[in-house]
């Protein structure tokens, strides 16, 4: 099976990622599609839609549904892009809980940043019509 399922879909997602990062004023990020070992077969226990590394400006996004390997909707991909870019805008915090220090990745101000990112992309003339209400 070919490594790239739909090259047009991946090119469109790359273009939308660049547009979203420029609208959110976060240049220099690189998007990579998530490659699965087993495509569309077996037990798929991973529900991760994307991940990022804070030290590196690299974001990996799952562009296809896990079981049927159909291209994901642009609305879902743009929301994942907003989520992953918010990790760089609001980095994890260390919170003291009882006698331990806990690293909170998804803290309340982080979710506020995700909502701001989505609203900013909805106002854009090119990315706004892709969101489904």
Residue 87 three-state SS: helix
H or E element, residue 61: strand 58-61
Q: What percent of the chain has pLDDT over 90?
A: 56
Give buried/exposed letters for 95-131 (b at 16+ CB in 10 A, else e).
Answer: eeeeeeeeeeeeeeebeebbeebbebbeebeebeeee
Closest CA to 132 of 72, 83, 86: 72
Name the DSSP class of 46.
-
pLDDT surpassing 80 at residue 4: no
Domain boundaries, the chain: 7-124
Q: Using CA atoms, how far apart are residues 115 and 129, in angstroms rounded to an integer?
A: 17
pLDDT surpassing 60 at residue 41: no
Please say whether the structural domain 7-124 has been given the CATH code 3.40.50.300. Answer: no
Q: Mean pLDDT check: name the lowest of 31-40, 56-65, 69-78, 93-102.
A: 31-40
């Amino acid at each position: 099976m070919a490594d790239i399922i739909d090259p047009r879909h991946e090119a469109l997602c790359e273009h939308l990622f660049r547009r979203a990062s420029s609208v959110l004023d976060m240049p220099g990020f690189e998007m990579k599609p998530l490659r699965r070992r087993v495509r569309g077969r077996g037990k798929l226990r991973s529900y991760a839609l994307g991940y990022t590394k804070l030290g590196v400006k690299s974001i990996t996004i799952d562009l296809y549904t896990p079981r049927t390997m159909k291209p994901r909707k642009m609305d879902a991909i743009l929301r994942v892009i907003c989520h992953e870019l918010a990790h760089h805008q609001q980095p994890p915090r260390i919170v003291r809980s009882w006698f331990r220090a806990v690293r909170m990745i998804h803290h309340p101000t982080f979710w506020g940043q995700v909502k701001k990112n989505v609203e900013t992309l909805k106002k854009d003339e090119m990315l706004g019509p892709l969101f489904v209400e």
